[in-house]
Structure 1
Amino acid sequence: MSVSRRFGIGAFAGFLLVAAVGFGFGLLLLLVRGRWAPLTGFDVAIADGLNAVVSPYVGLLRWFSQLGGRPFMFWLVVLAVLVLLIRRRWRLALYLVVTGVGALLLDPSLKALVGRVRPVVETPVAHAPGNSFPSGHALGSMVVYGALVLVFLPAVPPRWRKVFVGFLGLIVLLIGFSRVALGVHYTTDVLGGWLLGVAWLGVTAYAFRPDFMDRGLEPSSAADLRPAPAHHGSAHPWRAVFQIVTGWVLTFGLVYVLGVLVRGQHDDGVNRWLQSFRTPSLDDLSYFWSKAGDTHAITLVLLISCPLALALWRQWRPVVFLLVTMAGEITLFLCTAAAVERPRPRVEQMDGQMPTSSFPSGHIAATLCLWTAIAILVIGRGRGWYRWLALVPAIVMPAGVALSRVYRGMHHPTDVLGALLLTALWLGVLCWAIRPLRTADPVETNAGSASAPAPAAPESPPRERV
């Protein structure tokens, strides 16, 4: 079997494994949020049973729990990153930082989204703030210790590798057990944290190294942890998928953090100021501008842009870029709005009650993402001066929609800031992962050059006999 075919099979198998783990976490999340009675009864029974027997071991359980706490893991990651930076392993240091930050952002946002309260036991022996699902200790320990295994395993002597993996795996198990035994988490909270941690590890590992399933995050032969060259000199399609998922998670986390910071702020002074200029004509104009950013208008422009892009450049890459841009925007908006739950401005809202919360603005984010993505393609792939005209709708359309939404009392000014942050981060991720301006893959170029016949060497003249 060829190397490329074996790599393709290994990458697809790894993708299926990560997808299965992610599906398991999603199913568990739905059951927990839906308060499925059999699952709730199972959790309560285990919490009550452990609470009756753990009193003599509370000190030991607290010690194990601290191994999965944020302070301990923060300094553990900092130390590992310093070691890698001293060794000049920039790629691996970045991998640890991105993986850890992603877990740090996933924990509070998902807890806010699910909203599960912590266990109530007869004899409380420990307390923890916030919601319950998923367990932050279980998620963080799985991600941090798992990432350390992927990064440093190639440097461990072969005879000690099983001991190294087993030791860190045992720590993760003890941390999860301690959280349940202390009565601050249900069993499914810990299980959910582990599942999410495994899925996040797989996604980021594929994003940074596409063949880690076969060779580790770095090849075992590199005792000095030196990064290996990329596969065939270009990003593998599966790698791009995991880069996009990694970027989506980080974008969601950062926009969520901004939403939490502004959630309690009532910055509706601008709304009230704009309302002082209301007239029937401006009301009608703002209505049509607002409609330019709703689902129907955005979908119509997208359906027109995709065939035109395919006809102009005769490549699927620009089409994929547009479709993934808008699919990511709608999912980022819905998830962030559900997690932040910011109320609408305390002014007259001309469009009535909306089904989603205020932060971030979906109309503005969709308009920004669509017209900016189109401008990136036209300016990057065009050749004449006219390509710069694509900046006009990329600026005018979002500005008009933003002004109309604030004028109509539907959004705070900081909701607009959330849409800008979402657009900048998400399009940056897609430009890095999809590379929409690339006209030909290096793989295709290499293949074409390999199939071309090599020029014949010039024949040397016959030597004269002396």
Structure 2
Amino acid sequence: MTELSLQRYDVDPSRPKARKALRDAALRVIAPAVVLFAAIVGIGLLIMGPLGGIPAENSLSRSVQRGRTATWDAVTAVWSHIGNTEIVIAVCVVAVAIVWWRTKQWWFAIVPAIAISVQATVFVIATAIVGRPRPEVKHLDPAPPTSSYPSGHMGASTALYVTFALMAQRIEQAWLRRLLTVVFLIVPVLVGYGRLYRGMHHLSDIIVGLLNGLVCAFLAWHWLRRRDPKGE
């Protein structure tokens, strides 16, 4: 992203009208999300069809299983649970409330909520259509009713924490801004490895979940048209 894109809510802090906000959300989030959904479903059907489920990924999962230890079982349990639906929603609600209170800009504060909502919608429908079985290893977490593809934990944590990283660019203290940006970007990586280690997803499930989260974070960050200094 360009510096102007990162600072778009500072460059134009004006309050949007409700009609304009709804129009922007439809054109800049919902419409692109339909394309994203089609791409994710298409990749999933390709995996389950011509690619035969990518058998080599089960070999990778079994290899990871053989390296499990009690210590890493405990560590990855924490990493995996960061992506749990209830935790993601709770963290998002608290963050939105705090940012709204601090900035008085609801249109900025709701960015994480838009990101995880769109990600969840794409994920839930895609996973029902593709229906990919989970890896053929012992699962260390309870398996949710959704199928393995794409990873909802990876998508949700990516959408949430990448938007946090983007929002952190408004922090004036350079050291704190950089620290929080690094921490926020590391969190989805830990969640993804935790899900792979614990046998809950194939590698491609995690990669596509990452893609889903990244695109939804990008759409959420740009959900509202802002004017640049040249009068966009």
Alignment of 1:308-347 (within 5 A): 308-347=98-137
Q: Deviations over 1:301-348 (max 9, x none)?
A: 112211221133220112221211111111111011011111111111
| 2:145 aligned with 1:355 | yes
Aligned equivalent of 2:75, options 266, 285, 290: 285
| 2:44 aligned with 1:259 | yes
Q: SS state of the match for residue 434, structure 1? A: coil
Question: In structure 1, what is the equivalent of residue 25 of structure 2?
Answer: 241
Aligned equivalent of 1:382, options 171, 191, 194: 171
Q: Does the C-alpha gap of structure 1 residues 423 and 312 become closer, same or farther in structure 2, counting only changes over 3 Å? A: same
Aligned equivalent of 1:395, options 160, 185, 199: 185
Q: Does the C-alpha gap of structure 1 residues 299 and 431 become closer, same or farther in structure 2, counting only changes over 3 Å? A: closer
Q: Is the 8 A contact 2:58 2:136 kept in 1?
A: yes
Q: Deviations over 1:382-435 (max 9, x none)?
A: 333121222223222111111111111110000111112112222222333325
Q: Distance in 2 between matches of 1:306 and 1:396?
A: 21
Aligned equivalent of 2:155, options 365, 368, 379: 365
Q: Is the 8 A contact 2:132 2:149 kept in 1?
A: yes
Q: Distance in 1 between matches of 2:46 and 2:209?
A: 15
Q: Distance in 2 between matches of 1:399 and 1:427?
A: 15
Question: In structure 2, what is the equivalent of residue 412 of structure 1?
Answer: 202
Between the two structures, name the one with larger relative contact order (CA 8 Å, sep ≥ 6).
Answer: 2
Q: Does the C-alpha gap of structure 1 residues 300 and 285 become closer, same or farther in structure 2, counting only changes over 3 Å? A: same
- Name stretches of at least 5 consecutive residues in structure 2 with no aligned partner: 1-18
Q: Does the C-alpha gap of structure 1 residues 430 and 392 become closer, same or farther in structure 2, counting only changes over 3 Å? A: same
1:297 aligned partner, one-letter code: I
Q: Distance in 2 between matches of 1:310 and 1:246?
A: 26
1:253 aligned partner, one-letter code: A
Question: In structure 1, what is the equivalent of residue 8 of structure 2?
Answer: none
Q: SS state of the match for residue 236, structure 1? A: helix
Aligned length: 205
Q: Distance in 1 between matches of 2:131 and 2:78?
A: 27
Q: Deviations over 1:53-100 (max 9, x none)?
A: xxxxxxxxxxxxxxxxxxxxxxxxxxxxxxxxxxxxxxxxxxxxxxxx
- Across the aligned residues of Structure 1 and Structure 2, the Cα RMSD in angstroms comes to 2.2
Q: Is the 8 A contact 1:321 1:434 kept in 2?
A: no
Q: SS state of the match for residue 222, structure 2? A: helix
Q: Distance in 2 between matches of 1:431 and 1:302?
A: 15
Q: Distance in 2 between matches of 1:430 and 1:352?
A: 30
Question: In structure 1, what is the equivalent of residue 11 of structure 2?
Answer: none
Alignment of 1:105-120 (within 5 A): none
Q: SS state of the match for residue 110, structure 2? A: helix
Q: Distance in 2 between matches of 1:420 and 1:322?
A: 16
Q: Distance in 1 between matches of 2:145 and 2:46?
A: 22
The structural deviation recorded for 1:358 is 0.4
Question: In structure 2, what is the equivalent of residue 422 of structure 1?
Answer: 212
1:259 aligned partner, one-letter code: G
Q: Does the C-alpha gap of structure 1 residues 352 and 322 become closer, same or farther in structure 2, counting only changes over 3 Å? A: closer
Q: Deviations over 1:142-172 (max 9, x none)?
A: xxxxxxxxxxxxxxxxxxxxxxxxxxxxxxx
Give TM-score, length-normalised by structure 1.
0.42
The structural deviation recorded for 1:441 is 9.9
Q: Distance in 2 between matches of 1:332 and 1:418?
A: 12
The structural deviation recorded for 1:352 is 4.2
1:277 aligned partner, one-letter code: G
Larger Rg: 1 or 2? 1
Q: Distance in 2 between matches of 1:422 and 1:281?
A: 31
Q: SS state of the match for residue 410, structure 1? A: coil
Q: Deviations over 1:105-140 (max 9, x none)?
A: xxxxxxxxxxxxxxxxxxxxxxxxxxxxxxxxxxxx
Q: Distance in 1 between matches of 2:143 and 2:21?
A: 42
2:122 aligned partner, one-letter code: L
The structural deviation recorded for 1:378 is 1.3
Q: Does the C-alpha gap of structure 1 residues 242 and 355 become closer, same or farther in structure 2, counting only changes over 3 Å? A: same
The structural deviation recorded for 1:274 is 1.4
